[in-house]
Chains A and B, each alone.
Chain A
Amino acid sequence: MLLLTCPYCGVMAEETEFHGGGEAHLTRHSDGSSDDAFTAYLFERKNPKGIVLERWRHVYGCGKWFHAARCAVTLEIFGTYSAQTFEPPAEIIAKIKAKRPEWEAKS
């Protein structure tokens, strides 16, 4: 059971206080999108063995959605950050790259 820090309340809490929301930074495809693009948006997820950028909601706390950068293998949390962004903040990217030089934020 993970420990996560909600970037809004600043509280570090048990995973049971949160609700996972899957892959972060998806681009929504709507009316006018191709079948392939829409299918990819709806159903295709990366699930890498390594760094994942994922959505969480502090459901039994402040109710806010946020993002977490986490290693799915070692369970290391590189940071949590606002959900209102298209990519992780620079300091989190730097923290990940310090340990995983081969990792790219957009891959």
Chain B
Amino acid sequence: MSFRLPTFGHLIDRDSPVSFTFNGKSVQGFKGDTLASALMAADHRMVGRSFKYHRPRGIVASGGEEPNALMNMGEGARFEPNQRATTTEVFNGLTARSQNHWPSLAFDIGALNNKLARFLPAGFYYKTFMKPAWAWKHVFEPIIRRSAGLGQVPTERDADCYEYFYAYTDILITGGGVAGLEAALEAGRSGAKVLLLEQSPHFGGRLMVDDVEVDGRAGPAHIAHLLTEIGKLPNVSLRPRTQGAGVFDHGYALGYERLNDHAPSTTPRHRLWRIRAKRIITATGALERTLNFAGNDIPGVMLASAVRDYVRLYGTAPGARTVVVTNNDDAYRTALTLHAVGLEVPAIIDARPQGGGALAEQARALGVRIETGHAVAKVNGKIHVKSVEICLQSGAGGAVETIACDCVAMSGGFSPVVHLWSHCGGKLNWDAANAMFSPDPSRPPTDQNGEGFVITAGSAFGALTTEACLQSATAAARQAADEVGHSLPEEAAAREVRTISENPMAPIWSMPDKAPYKLRAKTWLDFQNDVKVSDVQLAAREGFESVEHTKRYTTLGMATDQGKLSNINGLAVLAGALDAEIPNVGTTTFRPPYTPISLGAIAGEAAGPLFKPTRKTTIDGWHESHGAIFEPVADWRRAYAYLQAGETTQDAITREILATRGSVGLFDASTLGKIIVKGPDAGKFLDLVYTNMMSTLKPGKCRYGLMCNENGFLMDDGVVARLDEDTFLCHTTTGGSDRIHAHMEEWLQTEWWELKVFTANLTEQFTQIVVAGPNARKVLEALGGMDVSREALPFMTFTEGKLGGIQARIFRISFSGELSYEIAVPASQGLLMWNLLLQAGADHGISPYGTEALHVMRGEKGFVVVGDESDGTVTPHDLGMSWAVSKKKEDFIGKRGMQRSFLTAEGRKQLVGLRTLSDTEKLPESAHAVEDGKAIGHVTSTYFSPTLGHPIAMALIVGGRARMGEVLAFPVAGTVHKARVVDPVFYDKEGAQQDV
């Protein structure tokens, strides 16, 4: 059983009880408890089921490396799966549920998998579900999908908010243990700006737990002293509950601050720190490793350091009788701690024949039984530890004795947390004496100057004693301060640390040494993904020699804990199976973040309406108050149609089109791009940018032009107006305004920089309003001020003047096929002009029309829309627009590209019109034409034409222009639509309507 102790627990406040629920049952803890410590104190030792075999699992660790104690946290819009109980602080009202079981934690159907473990080895899904082929999709995958995964998926939108914070500092220190704090103090004294991040709510690391004395002060007292000293330095900031989550190029780092996970509120829950540091000191400590013995995953088997943490920090006993099993001296501290609070330690099993040093002597003096050269053969117990069988480490597991216990504290040595060092390319050395990878200071990640910018300190550096930690911290701080250009204080005398002599650890990768298959098949490496020693050995036998391949085949280290406990053991087992040295097998890649961080924090404020700003025209408010429904076009929102009372969307579109073609319509075209191209070489430049000739355009005239990219594919179109000899105004598509401006600048700056040309994007400086329809001229004449007659302002020309008292530029251009004026006025006058036109057109029943009416009308005219009729693989020739591609010009962007063999070959898709055989049947969007079982093209636009009273469509069809009159089949979801290939211009082919 596990329970609360009357003593210790300096992180908990016994005067502040906290009440929360676990699987619906009320549990009491104290302020300062983690969910793990509170559950343990309440004797909840089984906290979940494993991923694959649904085995009972308990708490193993006390920090972010915990593989088992993952919880479904919160409810409704604050529900979040896979939260580690070991890093979750309890608060009143917390709700937690265990994961991966059905119907309940205690009774779980999926545990059947445990019985079938023999048939579910590494890569079983690659081998087992091969035949019959149909069964994968219909039988196996649905079952596997249902049974895989840990937590549940949230179903509601996240109710919390998140934020970013930008920080710039000379030195960033990650980790607030004694090494990090010592480094912060030393670096701070140099005057450098220092920011220290600590992932847990409190500082001090191992010094808060272990019996360490520095300068005559006990560990916690020394930490308090350091914090006081650091507090005197205004240039040093400390952030608890903030994890150094990742290190990236050139001193960029991410911090993940959990602001109120421990005290829910409506203020931002997490804060993502985006940090630029000149130097980064990682003082992230080391993680203890598990030992590989059978049954090492049974609830009650824990890391020895974690057992000590629960006793010291939270006053909680993981068990009443704890067997300690180790390959190093550190685990003796756990035995001594347990003994000190009166808990039983029936035996310390030390795999080393020579046993431990001074700490072992202390334990022996207290009468604790120590078995050197011994191992755990297996752990007995189903849902928690009942006993261990011990054997000789050198043997094959013949048990010599069974020792009753309810907890096993294991220590397989330590692995420095090298993640942050490695994220951006820091290299590692294999330290054979300590059987661990540690940072190689001669191969650090490098910054923009080619200099190393990450330095490690403390046990993250590989220093495993307090003395060595402090030395490396001081050295790291002095190096960093010097490198960021701060003068250093005199080096103070080294701190005095009471040292304890320790015996070397022994690398033990199998317990016992010659464990047979039966034991290895119950020996877990990766607890979270259920990978066993036998799985890695099988992978090696099957030829997976690369550690990266083995990882993916067995899923070792691929769970949410990213193998923090399992990776080194897994590597060692693989190396053993391959008969290779561990450093030659190598490590898998360390990738940020260090532990999972919330997607909310990554999004920051950029959620909901703030995800991306919506561009609105000056008339947007009028649209909104007049029944407009909107559609997104690039970053803009545009009025799609204006719905009147009782109308459907289709009703509104039909009414708008008939009003425009019958009398006059009004359209907000402000979103079209408007780029000024100016300079003595402007004409020459535009000849290079457009496929057709622009330099011959006369001032006062307009010309429609096409733009291609260097591949020869259409990228934009629009009307160009020559304002004067040196100045052109290029209209682009709505989506093209920024892109085309950038395109022009790229060519001007990087290829044709000798040209004397400036460009300016004036898209938002003008409001542009289209007045279209047979009565359009009358509306403008009613406003007065400018001669807009056919003679004064012919088709494809423009003029400037005052229309209704407002400075305006009027273009005689038409996208609807009607008599049409596009009126550009300064944006500040846009809404005024719109209202004046509405008044002036009232007698003619002027009707605003939206983008869909515009599209239908242009479809009737057979005008293409870039992005509908073109998709980035279509040339002007494909669209029947060869007339807009100059044969005279020596060069233009895309000229050579269009000559490529496959663009000039027969059998290209060509633009055609489609007329359905039935007058009521509109072709579905994007429907494919199928001929002899082959797709020969697709519908690009399809509408019902109110003008013509029947559906119309355009399509890109293989050899389309030679197919006029053919009937094509468009099978969609069981219905075969039939349509005849026709000319794409359905309405007023001669263009008489627009040129009146």
Residue of B nearest to A83 (CB): B750
Chain B neighbourhood of A74, CB < 8 A:
446, 450
Residue of A nearest to B754 (CB): A84
Contact of A99 with B450 in the complex, beta carbons under 8 Å: yes
Chain B neighbourhood of A29, CB < 8 A:
896
Chain B neighbourhood of A2, CB < 8 A:
249-250, 448
**Minimum C-beta distance from A87 to chain B (A):** 14
Does chain B have a CB within 8 A of A93? no
Contact of A42 with B448 in the complex, beta carbons under 8 Å: no
Chain A neighbourhood of B895, CB < 8 A:
30-31
Contact of B896 among A14, A30, A57 (CB under 8 A): A30
Contact of A33 with B896 in the complex, beta carbons under 8 Å: yes
**Minimum C-beta distance from A8 to chain B (A):** 10
CB under 8 Å from chain B, chain A span 66-88: 71, 74-77, 83-84
Does chain B have a CB within 8 A of A1? yes
A residues with CB within 8 A of B: 1-3, 14-15, 21, 28-33, 35, 38, 42, 55, 57, 59, 63-65, 71, 74-77, 83-84, 99
Contact of A76 with B448 in the complex, beta carbons under 8 Å: yes
Contact of A1 with B248 in the complex, beta carbons under 8 Å: yes
Chain B neighbourhood of A71, CB < 8 A:
450
Contact of A31 with B448 in the complex, beta carbons under 8 Å: no
Contact of B448 with A75 in the complex, beta carbons under 8 Å: yes
Does chain A have a CB within 8 A of B15? no
Contact of A64 with B250 in the complex, beta carbons under 8 Å: no
Chain B neighbourhood of A42, CB < 8 A:
710-711, 897
Does chain A have a CB within 8 A of B228? no
Residue of B nearest to A84 (CB): B753
Contact of A65 with B448 in the complex, beta carbons under 8 Å: no
* Number of A-B contacts defined by CB within 8 Å: 70
Contact of A3 with B749 in the complex, beta carbons under 8 Å: no
Contact of A1 with B250 in the complex, beta carbons under 8 Å: yes
Chain A neighbourhood of B890, CB < 8 A:
31
* Most A CB within 10 A of own CB, among B250, B252, B276, B742: B250
* Most A CB within 10 A of own CB, among B252, B449, B749, B900: B749
Known: A2-B250, A42-B711, A55-B750. A63 touches B745 (CB 8 A): yes
Chain B: interface residue count, which band?
20 to 34
A38 to B710: give the CA distance in the assembly, Å.
10
Contact of A65 with B745 in the complex, beta carbons under 8 Å: yes
Residue of A nearest to B253 (CB): A1
Contact of B749 with A83 in the complex, beta carbons under 8 Å: yes
Other than the given A2-B249, A31-B895, A84-B750, 8 more pairs (CB < 8 A) read A1-B249, A14-B276, A28-B751, A65-B746, A74-B450, A75-B250, A75-B447, A83-B753
Does chain A have a CB within 8 A of B891? yes
Known: A64-B749, A65-B750, A71-B450. A31 touches B896 (CB 8 A): yes
**Minimum C-beta distance from A99 to chain B (A):** 7
CB-defined interface of B803-826 with A at 8 Å, one 1/0 digit per residue? 000000000000000000000000
Contact of B891 with A76 in the complex, beta carbons under 8 Å: no
A65 to B751: give the CA distance in the assembly, Å.
11
Residue of B nearest to A85 (CB): B753
**Minimum C-beta distance from B388 to chain A (A):** 50
Residue of A nearest to B749 (CB): A65
A84 to B762: give the CA distance in the assembly, Å.
26
Chain A neighbourhood of B447, CB < 8 A:
75-76
Chain B neighbourhood of A38, CB < 8 A:
896-897, 900
CB-defined interface of B878-907 with A at 8 Å, one 1/0 digit per residue? 000000000000110001110111000000
A64 to B749: give the CA distance in the assembly, Å.
7
Chain A neighbourhood of B746, CB < 8 A:
21, 57, 65
Chain B neighbourhood of A1, CB < 8 A:
248-250, 252
Contact of A76 among B446, B750, B896 (CB under 8 A): B446
A31 to B896: give the CA distance in the assembly, Å.
5
A28 to B901: give the CA distance in the assembly, Å.
19
Residue of B nearest to A19 (CB): B742
Residue of B nearest to A43 (CB): B711
**Minimum C-beta distance from B773 to chain A (A):** 40
Chain A neighbourhood of B897, CB < 8 A:
38, 42
Contact of B711 with A3 in the complex, beta carbons under 8 Å: no
CB under 8 Å from chain A, chain B span 746-764: 746, 749-751, 753
Q: Can you list 12 contacts pairing A with B, beta carbon distance less than 8 Å?
A: A1-B248, A3-B249, A28-B751, A31-B890, A55-B750, A57-B746, A63-B745, A75-B249, A75-B250, A76-B447, A83-B749, A84-B750
A63 to B749: give the CA distance in the assembly, Å.
10
CB-defined interface of B582-610 with A at 8 Å, one 1/0 digit per residue? 00000000000000000000000000000
A30 to B745: give the CA distance in the assembly, Å.
19
Contact of A77 among B448, B751, B901 (CB under 8 A): B448
**Minimum C-beta distance from A61 to chain B (A):** 13
CB-defined interface of B945-960 with A at 8 Å, one 1/0 digit per residue? 0000000000000000
